[in-house]
Structure 1
């Protein structure tokens, strides 16, 4: 199935949801955030799912979400959670993968204390940095294109140019 989906990957706080919403509007298409989809389906927050059911249960929810996207979603901008590509390496089956790359230090600057508190894997900064380094390699390997998300305007333009070339 040629889905024409664009899947935005990147670490927590890399701008996937922000870029995805704006991009979908500019391309006159739909936007889907897998974390929001899971929260809606489960009727609870990701942090609550992690706390009560554990990470493995959440990853299984992501896999279920991926199967639905792969089989049912077309022409959509999709933002996936930071661990999604790590636990679902077959992500490309659902569309072209765009890695929004941001340095760890810039992610810290972007996120408020409240945002960090909401993210279960971001409670220990040393562990978060270790996780960032590990995931960066995976994101890069799985990506069809890597875009440094240093400027929203430039990022949107680069993705639109890429998308125009693959449609």
Structure 2
């Protein structure tokens, strides 16, 4: 199901807007984003990977050596700059990025924000595969992660489109998104 939420703003033509994917860690943002970028003929950017390249170390190392606040500052600088200066990209945000108001406002005003909505039950099925690569999971109990999941979901509700990803393949989701976006391009002409 797709729900339209905030109106699009800014003077950026719809066709040039970045497509921004948000959602909890493990929702499939990177996999779906790569497929969507191929379908739309756009460059794909994974925000975490871009930050790693800029700072010469993995996110897990940034968290370990500099702490989460330093990482969140790097994330804010990278994403707000990207929203101001880049166009026609597909961008996957880290699960916590959208919690920062400045990032959220930049994304909503200059891009088309899709929330990849995953249920808690479906996420639990992915937990074991995620724990080693997600530093935030390594210091929290499952109850704390569930609380974080619920609080983030409230913030993720501030988007342009929500897509349920529980029972569908990344290919199906990317195809639906591509058709929807391309339909918007046609209407814009």
Fold-level similarity (TM above 0.5): yes
Give the number of the structure whose residues are more often helix, by fraction: 1
Distance across 2 between alignment mates of 1:126 and 1:93: 34
| Partner-residue secondary structure (3-state), 1:97 | strand
Q: Deviation of residue 111 (structure 1)?
A: 4.2
Distance across 2 between alignment mates of 1:63 and 1:75: 20
Number of residue pairs aligned between Structure 1 and Structure 2: 165
Aligned partner of 1:92 in structure 2 is 108
Aligned partner of 1:107 in structure 2 is 123
| Partner-residue secondary structure (3-state), 1:117 | coil
Matching of residue 159 in structure 1 with residue 177 in structure 2: yes
Gaps of 5+ in 1: none
Question: What's the TM-score, normalizing by structure 2?
Answer: 0.82
Distance across 2 between alignment mates of 1:139 and 1:23: 20
| Partner-residue secondary structure (3-state), 1:78 | strand
Deviations 1:6-65 (A, max 9, x none): 100000000000000011111111100100000111111111111111111111101111
Question: What's the TM-score, normalizing by structure 1?
Answer: 0.92
Distance across 2 between alignment mates of 1:33 and 1:166: 24
Distance across 2 between alignment mates of 1:128 and 1:165: 37
Is contact 1:69–1:94 with CA below 8 Å preserved after alignment?
no
CA RMSD in angstroms comes to 1.5
Distance across 1 between alignment mates of 2:110 and 2:52: 21
Which 4+ stretches in 1 moved above 2 angstroms?
Answer: 110-113
What does residue range 136-151 of structure 1 map to in structure 2 within 5 Å? 136-140=153-157, 142-149=158-165, 150-151=167-168
Distance across 1 between alignment mates of 2:175 and 2:35: 11
